[in-house]
Amino acid sequence: MPSAEELKQRIETAIPGAQADVQGADGVHFEAVVTSPAFAGKTRLEQHRMVMDVFAGELGGAIHALSLKTATP
Report the alpha-carbon distance of residue 31 to residue 23 in Å, rounded: 5
9 binds another protein (CB under 8 A): no
Looking at residues 29 to 48 of the shown chain, list those that interact with another protein (rule: CB under 8 A): 44-45, 48
C-alpha 26/C-alpha 41 separation (Å) is 34
Kindly state whether residue 23 participates in binding another protein, applying the rule CB under 8 A. Answer: no
Q: Which of 14, 28, 38, 52 binds another protein (CB under 8 A)?
A: 52
Which residues are at the interface with another protein (CB under 8 A)?
44-45, 48-49, 52, 56-57, 59-60, 65-69
